[in-house]
A and B are shown apart, each in its own frame.
Chain A
Amino acid sequence: MKRLLSGNEAMALGAHHAGLSVAAAYPGTPSTEILENLAKMEDIYVEWSTNEKVAMEVAMGASYGGVRALAIMKHVGLNVAADPFFAASVTGVRGGLVVISCDDPGMHSSQNEQDNRQFARFAKVPMLEPSNSQEAYDLMAWAFQISEEFDTPVLFRSTTRISHCKTVAEVPESPEIDRKRPEFIRDPHKFVMVPSNARPRHPLMEERIRKLSSYVETFPLNEIILQDRSLGIISSGAAYQHAREVFQGASFLKLVTTYPLPQTLIRRFALDVKRILVVEELDPFIEDILRALAMTVMGKEVVPIMGELNPQILEERAAIAGLIPKPAALYAVKKAVRELPMRPPLLCPGCPHAATSYALKRLGFYHTQPEEESTSGRKAVARKRQGIIAASDIGCYTLSVYPPLLALDTCACMGASIGQAHGLEKAGVTNRIVSVIGDSTFLHSGITSLVNAVYNEGRGTTIILDNGTTAMTGHQGHPGTGTSARGDKAPRVIIEDLVRGIGVRDVNIVNAFDLSLIEDTIKRCVETDEPSVIIIRGACPLHVRGKGKPLTIDLAQCDKCFNCLRVGCQAITREGNEIRIDAALCVGDRCAVCSQVCHQKAIRVK
């Protein structure tokens, strides 16, 4: 039947119909919906693993046990999972093992835009790339088959515009599903990678890539479209669709097997066309391989190496390169539109991170009064030294780097904050230092860094923002939530017990909406000589819905200091000099952080 499916829905359905037994993932945009969709299907074991490395290992174990398995993650998740991913390439598989990497060109919701196609070549594993939801569905069965036939994990690479775009796909309604029977057959030469066993595996890996190179030559989903032969486009993934749009009459070679490449097929295509343009998003991955084969192609001199591609960018670049006529007077940046106020992402009304961010901004001096730096004088220097440095992490709270909160000093990758804070301290920086990390991120990869800080006699303060969910990606369960990937009740890891077990003695639990208690606790903890943890607990308002008693502002009492606006709450607006509280957005006295910063006590329960 015809269905309008996102790429993520199609991948989940394709894997299900291909006889998937075990799926493990850590949520991350744009990959999250794949496991969420698999969780709706019967007879598949699904889990949110604590992180991508664990998810990869779980999928490996399931594959060793003879069944088909999936590990799902966003691009940077594969960095976390790289160790077992490479190991899986060495050992090979039993049941089909597919690793889905959803890349984020343009960084819609990521800290970098690394091109994970490089991982396929790096780890010597085959890679498949769909260019729409139909292929996302169809290729999933191929991926498992290739994995089993060639004894290899398969990298299944998607991007934001594949994962999150909805396109029409023809899919069977309820096909017969054939699942493999679990069975572990002992084979230490294959599964126990001591050096003496690993050495003989390497030649097998090289042989595997050679065999795959000839296999992909006849792969049915690679497609040649011969039209005007003066220009031939080689492309894959979302870039292929943009290219079809822009170069309507040109000839095309669409590749879904992007590693290893079908070299003979490509050479045949090259004989049919006069010039070749490789249209790919991000790195010159295909282009470099073709150039190494001494082929003459155009690529990154036309198509940008950075950012997400779209038909407009491609059309402009192709016109500049003289490959197509210049579009008529289009695309001049329109000044009036450019000068409109931006709408940066914000914390939601009632967010439990607002009070902590506000406190960190105040304690961080550097951010709140940058103008005092330039007025110089000893006072400013002395105060700056006192300012708390906030090493932060990946989550909704990272949004408090934007105005008006400006609360954070670092954010690198999942779990980095605690180690970075420790490094800043050991470097001899005299500021007090805190790390700020969410509950899900702490359990993902913060624990080992806290163990490190305890062992190496750090004195840093770790602030764990515990909103009881993985909020940014849309409220997935994690080990601290007591809820499984299917939404059932699950055992719960108690964060305070965990950190005490690690050896932290100074453990504080604070209400996320109690601004002065948060501020006082941070001030006390950063002055002690031992590692401390502050668990700041408050539910995400989008997760646990419902409102408290509504708040109102007494305009007669308001002295127009606008302190309340500095909380950065969307429910508080200003019309002229009058503060308004939007009753539809405000969560009421469940939060009331604004009333705590109002020194006139003008914001009260109605």
Chain B
Amino acid sequence: MKKTDILMTGVGGQGVILASDALAEIAMKAGHDVKKSDSLGMSQRGGSVVSHLRLGRQVFSPMIREGEADFLLAFERLEGARWANYLHEGSVAIVNDLAIPPLSVVGGASAYPSTAEVEEILRRYTDYLFIIPGTQIAQEMGNPQVLNVLLVGFLSVFLDIEEQSYIEDLSQRVPQKVLQLNLKAFARGREEALARTQGK
């Protein structure tokens, strides 16, 4: 199995770790060796979160090196740009177009990068960049909390894992009353990805 390094980033409270836990489990069941390592900092809410997820035939270190990530799945724009230098030519970067300004920005000490600036930073490393209105779509679907499932759905199109594996995992992981919504969000993520990659 081909080595696949996935970096998942966002802000504490967005569900990054939940999503990477699920993806790791799915990948293991699909027969990959898997290692996963999270960095949370100290805060329960609001700090930078990054999860390293490595799949392959045999994985040693749980940590991805700069320039080695094959995929970046960013739940927030600034946290997408922050890890740009982990990408290489040909990496796929998926960035949720959501801004959660840190307090230094709110207090006026620094400026939050615009979508165009984030795009410019990421394009220095890869051409395969998808900035998607994930939060907006999740809201339209009725619950902003399905963002992580939607983003995993988007990513799943690029990975060497059967669609059914994700659906089985979701069915076990998600409470019955929100399962349908989550399955829809997953399917919607896949649709978005397929729509954007047609012809590429």
Contact = CB atoms under 8 A, between A and B. Distances in A.
Interface of A: 2, 4, 108-109, 132, 161, 164-168, 238, 241-242, 244-245, 310-312, 315, 330-331, 334, 336-337, 340-346, 348-349, 396, 399, 403-404, 471-472, 474, 542, 562, 565, 568, 570, 572-574, 584
A565 B35 CA distance: 40
24 contacts: A4-B25, A161-B37, A165-B37, A166-B37, A168-B28, A168-B34, A238-B62, A310-B61, A310-B63, A330-B66, A336-B84, A337-B81, A340-B78, A341-B104, A341-B111, A341-B112, A343-B78, A345-B43, A346-B103, A403-B103, A403-B107, A404-B103, A570-B103, A572-B106
B67 A330 contact: yes
B110 interface: yes
B65 interface: yes
B33 interface: yes
A561 to B, nearest CB: 13
Nearest to B32: A168
A443 B34 CA distance: 41
B33 A168 contact: yes
Interface range, B side: 35 or more
Given A165-B36, A241-B62, A310-B61, A574 B103 contact: no
A346 B28 contact: no
Interface in B37-63: 37-48, 59-63
B104 A241 contact: no
Interface in B92-110: 101-110
A231 to B, nearest CB: 16
A345 B46 contact: yes
A542 B45 contact: yes
Interface string B10-42: 010000000001001100100001111111111
Nearest to A107: B42
A2 B85 CA distance: 34
Nearest to A109: B42
B124 interface: yes
Given A165-B35, A241-B62, A330-B66, A343 B85 contact: no
Contact of B11 (A132, A311, A343): A343
Given A572-B106, A574-B106, A166 B43 contact: no
Interface string B61-93: 111011100000000001101111100000000
Interface centre among B66, B84, B102 (most CB of A within 10 A): B66
Contact of A341 (B47, B59, B78): B78
Nearest to B33: A168
Interface in B123-172: 124, 144
Contacts of A471: 44
Contacts of B33: 168
B9 to A, nearest CB: 11
A349 B84 CA distance: 29
A109 B121 CA distance: 30
A399 B112 contact: no
Given A310-B61, A331-B67, A343-B46, A166 B24 contact: yes
B37 A315 contact: no
B61 A242 contact: yes
A487 to B, nearest CB: 19
Contact of B62 (A165, A542, A568): A165
B57 to A, nearest CB: 12
What 10 A-B pairs are tightest by C-beta distance, nearest first? Answer: A345-B43, A244-B60, A341-B110, A245-B61, A343-B102, A334-B85, A348-B45, A345-B47, A312-B65, A166-B36
A2 B105 CA distance: 46
